[in-house]
Chain A
Amino acid sequence: MTSSGSWMPRPTRRGFCGLMMHLGVIAYATGRAAGCRPHGGGRSLSGTEAGAPPLLRTFSPATFATLSAVCERLLPRDADPGAIDLGVPKYIDRAVAEPELAPIRSLLLRVLPIIDRESRKRFGEKAFHEAAPTEQDEIIGLWQHGHDGGQAFFPVILSLTLEGAFSDPKYGGNSGGRGFDMIGFRPAPPLSMGMHAHAASPKSL
């Protein structure tokens, strides 16, 4: 029996678990202690601080700029809105502030600065968000192919970008439902379908 192959377990039955399936990989890779409880974190991560609502909940402005540029390359603006138009970076900033995504928050906070440094190193001190699109793609491509031993970053950032583009707009992404328009998804139930109910038995039977 082989130890790898297409039959390796993929916990996604009928669309199940989504982003959480990556967490097993991440939790193991970062050696989290058994029974570790993300609720015990030192700072309050959800809810707004006193006074004016903060613009960002998770990322510094510099890291947020890197995040935005990565998302925009994964889902760039063309005839249809891109990741930034859809509010994807904002969505991610909020989503990973939730306690259950603590391991993903750590992953992004660790990797995004590395991506920025990589850009400065390769492209004459240009920050990642200032680099040319082809330069940005070059760096993203490295991560897609397992750069820095990190197998998890690329699938996680791609999943989060798609969440931001195609989730319920109440979470701050998919601005104006324009992500749904792009893929032809209609959130309202087609109630008229009731009229087809047991119209007839199938002919082949």
Chain B
Amino acid sequence: MAEDPVDVVVVGSGAGGAPVAYALAQAGIRVVVLDKGRRYCNEDFDHDEVRMCRRTFFVPPVAEDPHTLRVGETAVATRTTAGWVSTVVGGGTVHMAGYFHRLHPVDFQLRSTLGHIEDSTLEDWPIHYEDLEPFYAAVERELGVSGIWHAHPFEEPRSADYPCPPLAEHSVAREIDKACARLEIHPFPTPRAIVSREYGGRMACMYCALCASYGCEIGAKSSTLVTFLPAAEASGHCEVRPECMVIEIPVDAGGRVTGVVYRTPKGDSIMQRARCVVVAATAIESARLLLLSRSARFPSGLANSNGLVGKNLVFSGEAKGEALFKRQGREAVPWLRDPSPFVQRSVQDFYFLDRPVEGIRKAGTIIFAMAHPNPILTAERIAGSGPNARWGIQLKEALREEAAGARTLTFETFGEFLPTRGTYIDLDPNVTDRWGLPVARITLERHKQVQEINRFLAARGKQVLDALDPDSSRITQEDGQDMVLQGGTCRFGRDPANSVLDVNCRAHSVPNLYVSDSSFMPTSGGVPGTLTIMANALRVGMHLVDQFRANRL
């Protein structure tokens, strides 16, 4: 079967796909957006922890649709849910916490700044911060990002203020400010993709208790479901088709892509012809789709003549810590009674250091938050895991003391994850998904500096928590990586020999194929990447508009 041809087909409707569809549709270019996930509306979201966070609402079942993961090439890859972002229309923007920091100028030239780092495939970006700045500002405007300008000495250059004031903050934020002042650290209100006032016809945040990991039932969280997608559809030039799994991107004899082949929920295979294909299915899944699309011209996968598709995978380096503040004996401390959900404090004093400290110059961001209030997750956190997990009367007492009788303040770090040759995705030779296709196999071999960066940031986060005089504090994850925050499998660059995409995120070797999600990123940066993905996708979308207007596509 075949659908009527369109100008552009976009694979994926999240942060990397929706802004492209929006730019094109606004310009009158006909777009079809395909997403394998279901489409939900605000009314579908609730605060049922089991349904939203603990089953398969956002992440597909591991028996049907897994990734596999191995640590080092000699290990056996095992099935995992790791590396999925969110398999619904809107992708990860639906359940995100919405931490919307920009990258800093140094992130675009890290290789030139730090020099060669042994065992890392670190490269500069082929664009500068100034090239992306207008698109950062445009995305912030479209989404109504909340924040405050000139808030700290390490702020990146900005051309415009935030369109919404910062979200209301928990009263512990003032305590953090006081403690940080003593430590000569400069906390600032976390910019968020959540509207703090009525914005573009959307309701302001109502400060309900559960936010991150949930869809927003009033649409105050600026997912693409309530921003770019409806705006694109309103133009009359964009159609979003949910539950359509793209399985192949065919090419013609001239080496141009002709559209995509997708499966409907009924199992029909449909060819959607298009003049141009934009892939935005997450770094892991976009690379997988290219690798699955083999042809006589591209026997090792589409746009993979140099073997770099899937390589240079990066995540966000992650450490976590928490501090417990018991109410008993602190009856006079008002913040312990404040139910406000957002602490709203970030620290970027250690983003980039003029001189190395403990051997580190580029670290990242520390974000403070109350422990996630999910009740089951809270109980699991207090119980712990492994041989030291608490259960029985000991667990009951701990639950009363640490959940009902205390508040837990946490931090999470977003650190540079240096790219290596040993961290990549390819097609698993043994495991297939429910469509019978080889799944993405993630191979992880981290650079030794990632651990040093995580520990460095974690120690600074804990220092702040300790300055608040808690009953106890601990680093709960000294060294890890956030596999939702992924990038880098189709690097962009100027040299076709060592990158997959050109400066506009077009495949070097396929003139009408683009990849517009985080796959393009040569480095992880030291912030959650969602805003950067959106800004770049909007940049790619505007470039495509120019190409169509010049009749080059």
- Listed in ascending order, the chain A residues whose CB lies under 8 Å from chain B are 1, 3-11, 13-21, 23-25, 27-28, 32, 34-38, 73-76, 78, 80, 95, 100, 102-103, 137, 140, 144-145, 154-155, 158-159, 162-163, 165-168, 170-171, 179-180, 182-187, 189-191, 193-194, 196-199, 201-205
Contact = CB atoms under 8 A, between A and B. Distances in A.
A14 B479 contact: no
Interface of B: 47-50, 53-56, 58-59, 61-64, 66, 69, 71-72, 75, 78-83, 95, 97, 148, 150-152, 165-169, 173-174, 177-178, 180-181, 186-189, 196-197, 204, 206-209, 212-213, 339-341, 372-380, 383, 385, 387, 389, 391-393, 395-396, 399-400, 403-405, 422, 430-434, 436, 444-446, 448, 450-451, 454, 477-484
Contacts of A24: 62, 66, 78-82
A35 B204 CA distance: 43
Nearest to A162: B379
A189 B377 contact: no
A191 B339 CA distance: 10
Given A7-B481, A16-B95, A16-B484, 14 more contacts: A7-B451, A7-B479, A17-B81, A20-B61, A20-B62, A23-B62, A24-B62, A32-B63, A34-B430, A155-B385, A158-B380, A167-B376, A191-B206, A202-B173
Given A9-B483, A37-B64, A158-B389, A190 B430 contact: no
Contacts of A179: 375
Nearest to B341: A193
26 contacts: A1-B446, A6-B479, A7-B481, A13-B482, A15-B372, A15-B374, A16-B59, A17-B81, A18-B377, A24-B82, A35-B432, A74-B392, A158-B383, A158-B391, A159-B380, A163-B376, A167-B49, A170-B48, A183-B375, A183-B378, A190-B207, A190-B209, A199-B168, A201-B148, A202-B189, A205-B188
Nearest to B381: A15
Nearest to A181: B404
B166 A198 contact: yes
Nearest to B119: A1
Contacts of A158: 380, 383, 389, 391
A199 B399 CA distance: 34
B212 A36 contact: no
Given A168-B48, A168-B49, A34 B391 contact: no
Given A74-B392, A204-B180, A204-B186, A9 B340 contact: no
Contact of B479 (A1, A5, A103): A5
A182 B400 contact: yes
A186 to B, nearest CB: 7
B375 A23 contact: no
A34 B431 contact: yes
A205 B50 contact: no
Contacts of A35: 64, 432-434, 436
B151 A205 contact: yes
A184 B478 CA distance: 29
A78 B375 contact: no
Contacts of B392: 73-76, 137
Given A1-B72, A7-B446, A32-B63, A20 B55 contact: yes
Given A193-B168, A204-B186, A36 B63 contact: yes
A14 B381 CA distance: 12
A189 B209 contact: yes
A3 B72 contact: yes
Nearest to B148: A201
A1 B54 CA distance: 32
Given A15-B212, A74-B391, A203-B174, A80 B434 contact: no
A23 B63 contact: yes
A34 B439 CA distance: 10
Contact of B54 (A5, A36, A163, A198): A163
Contacts of A73: 391-392
B168 A185 contact: no
A9 B82 contact: yes
B477 A186 contact: no
A70 B393 CA distance: 13
Contacts of B204: 194, 197
B54 A186 contact: no
Contacts of B165: 197-198
A11 B483 contact: yes
A23 B81 contact: yes
A183 B54 contact: no
Nearest to A29: B78
Contacts of A167: 48-50, 375-376
A180 B208 CA distance: 16
Contacts of A193: 168, 206-207, 339-341
Top 6 A-B pairs ranked by shortest CB distance?
Answer: A18-B54, A189-B208, A184-B404, A193-B207, A183-B403, A196-B168
A183 B212 CA distance: 20
Contacts of B181: 204
**Which residue, B340, B374, B392, B436, has most C-beta atoms of chain A within 10 A?**
B392
A28 B430 CA distance: 12
Contacts of B188: 202, 205
Nearest to A32: B63
Contact of B71 (A8, A17, A162): A8
Given A15-B213, A155-B385, A194 B207 contact: yes
**Which residue, A102, A171, A201, has most C-beta atoms of chain B within 10 A?**
A201
A76 B396 contact: yes
Nearest to A16: B213
Contacts of B152: 205
Contact of A78 (B196, B209, B213, B396): B396
Contacts of B55: 18-20, 100
A95 B82 CA distance: 23
Contacts of A171: 50
B212 to A, nearest CB: 4
